[in-house]
């Protein structure tokens, strides 16, 4: 079946009053952005609280669905046949051929759900539904009517055009990106942080990202993997400005001056500080990490408290209560998993102690950090100034 138009369903309940316009306008432009990646010409329109995508040229259905199902705010996509109003007989004929084409196997129960946005139509909704239902029954002896729990609900909407649709492909839900400000994702090459970014973007938040690498201890390939992950997340969130920070000097300095069981925690504190610097510079309202309570030594509640202590912006940890398998499931769903599990070292694995502290004491950590006094400010400044910026496009 060759659909020319799609009804886009979105979560109307969540948006009331003035916000509705912002929600709808942002959704419309995010759909347009997503369609830029699809070959073909499309028109997106808003009409009386409805949104439509119309294909103006040939296109690939799978490719189009792939793009539309990644736009946050979209709850469902209904492939639609759009007809001009040419009287009941023409409509009945069109509906019969719709059923003929859309359902190869006709062994199903159905009902027709007719609605008139235009009240000057010569039949009431009930009359129209009954009359169309009869035509379908006449045409296909295998189908049965079930008005309570039909397997197929054929929607017929009389508007300026007549819309016919009966299937809905689920969208990702959430809020359109751009309706909720911007946040800085600490993006590593692991499984968790791309999922964390996805989840916050799902609430309408634009993303920027910061990655810390430690060449030559971490390779070009490890860096490329993070860029690839940013591109994967960008399919949902839109383009991500990625700051790539050379962390080698700082890591070596911490390694040289601080007790080794505190390395990870101290390192994490400096990462947060540098990421926060970039965040504030570009107007981000928070930081995002992929941390989850108890997953590793640096993610116990005491460790999280000590890491958090250096931040003045809120830190969003959307995975905080998730088990690893739940995170893996989402990673898989968003197509990040295969990339995340590529076996390239990340900068934390090289400098980890055999027995890292699980209950760090803030006083003791701060005392250790005094050993860094001499050069750390200057090193952080250098790390910030020499950061490489990459725009990760989907
Ligand atoms: P992930 O799977 O996201 O790498 P993880 O389970 O390996 O997480 P940690 O290494 O403790 O956990 O990192 C916790 C969080 O800190 C990450 O989710 C990420 O947000 C951030 N982070 C860790 N390493 C880096 C890095 N090299 N660059 C940027 N952010 C990082
Ligand atoms: Mg990691």
Pocket test for ligand 1, best of 183, 245, 279, 290 (most atoms within 8 A of CB): 290
pLDDT at position 21:
86
For 220-272, how does the pLDDT look when each residue is reduced to its tens digit (9 = 90+)?
Answer: 999 999 999 999 999 999 999 999 999 999 999 999 999 999 999 999 999 99
Task: Name the residue of 186, 188, 288, 301 whose CB sits within 8 Å of the most ligand 1 atoms, as the mutation to test its pocket.
Answer: 188
Measured distance CA(274)–CA(279) in Å, rounded: 9
Q: How confident is the model at residue 13 (pLDDT cuts 50, 70, 90)?
A: low
Which atom of ligand 1 approaches the CA of 210 most closely?
29
Structure token pair of residue 176: 């359109």
Q: What percent of the chain has pLDDT over 70?
A: 97
pLDDT tens digits along 105-135: 999 999 999 999 888 889 999 999 999 999 9
| Å from CA of 235 to ligand 2 middle | 22
- Rounded Cα–Cα distance for residues 115 and 152 (Å): 16
Ligand 1: centre distance to CA 199 (Å):
16
Q: At what angle do helices 362-370 and 301-308 cross, to 10 degrees?
A: 50
Residue 59 or residue 356, greater confidence: 59
Place of tokens 């920070």: 245
257 C-beta neighbours (distance < 10 Å), count? 17
Q: Which residues sit with their C-beta closer than 6 Å to ligand 1? A: 186-188, 190-193, 210-212, 271, 289-291, 295-296, 298-299, 346-348
Confidence bin at 350 (pLDDT 50/70/90): low
Could you tell me the CA-to-CA distances from 162 to 78, 94, 128, 157, 335 in Å, in that order?
14, 11, 12, 6, 37
The tens digit of pLDDT for each residue in 316-338 reads 999 999 999 999 999 999 999 99
Specify the DSSP element, H or E, that contains 377.
helix 376-385
Residue 62 scores a pLDDT above 60: yes
pLDDT (tens digit per residue) in 180-219: 999 999 999 999 999 999 999 999 999 999 999 999 989 9
For residue 333, how many C-alpha atoms fall within 13 Å in the half-sphere facing its CB?
14
Q: Are strands 109-116 and 152-158 parallel, antiparallel or unpaired?
A: parallel
Q: What is the pLDDT of residue 213?
A: 94
Instruction: Tell whether the model's pLDDT for residue 17 goes beyond 80.
Output: no
- The closest-lying atom of ligand 1 relative to the alpha carbon of residue 186 is 30
Q: Which residues contact 169 (CB under 8 A, 6 or more apart)?
A: 65, 68, 69, 76, 77, 78, 79
């Amino acid at each position: 079946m060759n659909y020319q138009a799609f009804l886009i369903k979105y979560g109307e309940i969540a948006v009331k009053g003035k916000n509705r316009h912002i929600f709808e306008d942002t959704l419309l432009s995010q759909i347009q952005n997503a369609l830029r990646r699809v070959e073909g010409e499309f028109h997106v329109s808003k009409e009386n609280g409805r949104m439509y995508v119309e294909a103006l040229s040939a296109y690939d259905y799978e490719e189009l669905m792939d793009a539309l199902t990644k736009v946050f705010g979209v709850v469902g996509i209904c492939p639609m046949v759009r007809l001009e109003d040419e009287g009941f007989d023409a409509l009945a004929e069109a509906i019969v051929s719709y059923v003929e084409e859309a359902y190869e196997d006709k062994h199903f129960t159905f009902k027709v759900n007719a609605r008139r946005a235009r009240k000057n139509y010569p039949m009431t909704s009930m009359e129209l539904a009954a009359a169309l239902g009869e035509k379908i029954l006449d045409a296909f002896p295998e189908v049965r009517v079930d008005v309570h729990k039909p397997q197929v609900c054929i929607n017929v909407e009389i508007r300026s055009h007549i819309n016919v649709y009966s299937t809905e492909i689920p969208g990702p839900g959430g809020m359109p990106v751009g309706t909720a400000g911007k946040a800085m994702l600490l993006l590593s090459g692991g499984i968790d942080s791309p999922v964390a970014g996805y989840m916050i973007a799902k609430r309408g938040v634009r993303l920027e990202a910061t990655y810390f690498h430690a060449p030559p201890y971490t390779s070009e390939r490890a860096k490329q993997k993070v860029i690839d992950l940013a591109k994967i997340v960008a399919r949902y969130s839109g383009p991500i400005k990625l700051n790539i920070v050379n962390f080698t000097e700082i890591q070596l300095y911490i390694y040289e001056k601080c007790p080794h069981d505190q390395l990870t925690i101290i390192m994490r504190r400096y990462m947060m500080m540098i990421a926060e610097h970039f965040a504030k510079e570009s107007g981000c309202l928070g930081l995002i990490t992929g941390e989850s309570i108890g997953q590793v030594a640096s993610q116990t509640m005491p460790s999280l408290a000590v890491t958090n202590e250096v931040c003045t912006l809120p830190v969003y940890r959307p995975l905080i209560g998730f088990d690893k398998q739940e995170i893996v499931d989402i990673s898989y769903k968003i197509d990040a998993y295969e990339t995340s599990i590529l076996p390239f070292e990340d900068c934390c694995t090289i400098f980890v102690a055999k027995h890292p502290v699980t209950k760090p004491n803030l006083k003791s950590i701060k005392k250790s950090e005094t050993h860094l006094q001499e050069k750390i400010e200057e090193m952080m400044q250098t790390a910030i100034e020499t950061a490489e910026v990459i725009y990760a496009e989907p």
